[in-house]
Structure 1
Amino acid sequence: MPLMCLPGENIRIIFHVDMDSFYSSVEVAANPSLKGLPVVVGSDPIKGEGRGVVSTCSYEARKYGIHSAMAISKAYRLCPDAVYLRVNMPLYKKVSSNIMEILKGYSSKFQQVSVDEAYLDVSDLVQDYDEAENLALRIKEEVTLREGITCSIGVAPNKSIAKIASDYRKPDGLTVVLPGEVERFLYPLDVSRISGVGKKTSIILNEMGIRTIGDLAVYDVQVLRERFGKFGLVMHQLANGIDGRTVMERGDVKSISKEDTFDRDTSDMVYVEGVIDVLSENVHGSLLKKKYLFKTVTIKVRLEDFTTYTRARTLGAYSSDLSAIKRTAKALLQEFRGRGRLRLVGVGVTKLEKMDEKQSRLSDFF
């Protein structure tokens, strides 16, 4: 059954706040002459000969078919006249920190989940969803006024629905899903809208006759568990609007990682190394944001047959060096050359240690 509020039950209202095309939006805010232009943030395309990948791009660039994790050479072929910029992580980190401070001012129940998105539980701050909508509008207005970029907000009874809602009307969107409208909102959407359901999982679900969230919601849960294990049950619950996770600031961080599932399985290791560069930069940005040093670098590799491997290497001393993450991750990747096509790659750091005040100041220069 879909999520419903029971009589006498306290109303629960969750926001998911997601910055729109964050890196490129920050670049445009810093340089207004870029407004309205296709902007691609990533590596140097070298007139179509570059070997890196797109980190993110503006909505104008997306009209040409460009998207994140695409080979930069392909992006150049699609739109050679776009503005190509290198990743400027210190700038994005600074703007992210400013935005998160804004969001913290709207709720004591705050959870940052990445450099450009966060959850807020405003249940004890508003009386109903009308007040919640007005609060969301104030947040959007303040973010734009102070940082010059837009965000999209989903307002819903739980985290899963709020996240789907924030992506519903991008960019600069606001979508409110009332408890009694969960089924009507979720059921027509493509099953890939559920967090964790990637392209390969979507293909398998489609082959099972499951194309929409509504299809998944009424599907035999035992069959889903047999096919997908525990995640089959999780998918079924999320499809029915069931998500009991709370919004809370994370405690001590044990690890920081990012991963990417490729559009197509690939054996092009130059391309994979480009993706590792982007993932390493994202991990490094989170590392500095949370003010941690690392000692161990890990990679995750999933092959085309879904076998998954993790490899790790521990450095001689704690570090905050981006180049050490990239270098070590690429060295660990070499084991998988000639092993067939890769479906997914991830980069992470573990054995974390909080920076002291001096180290924190020095990290601003990396």
Structure 2
Amino acid sequence: MEIELPLRKIIHVDMDAFYASVEQLDDPSLRGKPIAVGGGSSRGVVSAASYEARKYGVRSAMAGSLAAKLCPQLIFVKTRFDRYREISDKVRKVFYEYSDLVEPLSLDEAYIDVTQNKKGNPSATLIAQEIRTKIYERTGLNASAGISINKFIAKIASDFNKPNGQKTVPPEEVLEFLEALDIKKFYGVGKVMKEKMYRHGIYTGADLKTKSIEFLEEHFGKSGGYYYNIVRGIHNSQVKAERTRKSLAAERTFSENIASEIFMIERLENIAAEVERRLKKSKVAGKTVTLKIKYSDFTLQTRSKTLSLYIASKELIMETVKELLFQEGMKNSVRLLGISMSNLNNEDKTETRKVAQKEIDVQLKWDF
């Protein structure tokens, strides 16, 4: 069955275990071994895990202590974000060889609209293969890809044949693909929503499709309409090549809890220096300073102040941070501190190229 909508050719590229793969690339002794990037300290959290570590259940955002229990032979390595950004830049240059409609989601994944592409290639599938080949040739790393008519389906598809694979869902197969999909595979359905879906007898896309929009809105609120549409292949979000940064931040988790404001000031000085570096690199300044405090009992508190002028220097940032720190007492010892700058002066600046995307009507049959 075909979908009678204006169709795009969207590729979602996702680097395979990116941080961990970079570490294994740079240090051959780590290849084939279970490694975790980050999480090595007593309070650390895993940023990424190699595929060898994932076999033991090690995942990103997992406490390092738990990861070590699951995989006693796990090797912890420190994060090197400058190196990850360096390789990410090389990967993105490959994307721009095919289209200016590139929407980076993070250092290791992006959407690319190749409906009208620079190579004049009508096959999105072949373009995805070329992109993955070029990424490997230029970085030594593997990437996976999903190809379909919209961002939602492309992102789901990119996870199907990982690592180092790709999956295409052409227009005539979209509805069948979505109906057969386990509801937990739907992008945006997390653990809590999955359990809620299960309670209403919704286990697959086919189950979801039997529910009326009234039923879905009654039980899932504003998200009801979203679920009603996506299971029918309707997702009109365009690839946004123009993305304005809304804030800049830095934070640190401490190996031991801090109870003294004097020690906190020392840590905040370093964090403010990093925020200053990032502001200058992005050539922006901000008016709103936010202090983030996570206590030893894991409760989170934020304190903010909006200034009359834009600031970007460490000294001016710290003036406001100190004011926020001392505006009320600490209710417990502190395990994490962070500083963010928002309300930035970049309304006319973008992180990526400015491209006006036009609505493109495409024939319902793609060249694959």
Structure 1 and Structure 2 fold alike (TM over 0.5): yes
What one-letter code is carried by the residue in structure 2 that aligns with 1:74?
A: L
Q: How does 1:63-82 map to 2 (within 5 A)?
A: 63-82=55-74
Instruction: Sort the Cα spacing of 1:348 and 1:64 in 2 relative to 1 into closer, same or farther, 3 A.
Output: farther
The answer for the alignment partner of 2:36 in structure 1 is 40
* 1:181-213, Cα deviation, whole Å (9 max, x unpaired): 001212222212222211001111111111112
Tell me the distance in 2 between the aligned counterparts of 1:222 and 1:91.
49
Paired residue for 1:275? Answer: none
Q: 2:13 aligns with which of 17, 24, 27?
A: 17
Residue type matched to 1:115 in 2?
A: L
Q: How many angstroms apart in 2 are the aligned matches of 1:213 and 1:300?
A: 41
Counterpart for residue 297 of structure 2 = none
The separation in 2 between residues aligned to 1:287 and 1:186, in whole angstroms, is 42
Supply the RMSD in Å over aligned alpha carbons.
Answer: 3.8
The structural deviation recorded for 1:314 is 4.2
**Alignment counterpart, residue 297 of structure 1, candidates 276, 290, 293:** 290
- State the Cα distance separating 1:221 from its structure 2 match: 1.6
2:197 is matched with which residue? 205
Q: Does 1:4 align with 2:14?
A: no
Question: Distance between the aligned counterparts of 1:102 and 1:224, measured in 2?
Answer: 41
Aligned residues: 304
Q: Deviations over 1:36-77 (max 9, x none)?
A: 1111011324xxxx1221111011100011111111001111
Residue type matched to 1:37 in 2?
A: K
1:167 equivalent to 2:163? Answer: no
Give the counterpart of 1:112 among 72, 90, 104: 104
Contact 2:12 2:155 in 1 (8 A): yes
Confirm whether residue 220 of structure 1 aligns to residue 212 of structure 2.
Answer: yes
The percentage of counterpart residues that share the same residue type is 35
* Residue 150 of structure 2 corresponds to residue 153 of structure 1: no
Query: 2: distance between equivalents of 1:32 and 1:26?
Result: 10
With normalisation by structure 1, the TM-score equals 0.72
Give the structure 1 partner of residue 228 of structure 2. 236
Once structures 1 and 2 are overlaid, which stretch shifts more, 143-152 or 189-198? 189-198
TM-score (norm 2): 0.71
More helix by share: 1
**Aligned mates of 2:67, 2:187 — CA distance in 1:** 26
Question: Which residue, 301, 307, 313 being the options, matches 2:304?
Answer: 313
SS in 2 for 1:187: helix
Aligned pair 1:191/2:183, yes or no? Answer: yes
Measured after TM superposition, the shift of residue 108 of structure 1 is 1.6
Shift of 1:318: 2.7
Give the distance between the partners of 2:150 and 2:143, measured in 1 at CA.
19
Structure 2 CA distance for partners of 1:59 and 1:240, relative to 1, 3 Å: same
The answer (yes or no) to whether the contact 1:256–1:348 under 8 Å persists in 2 is yes
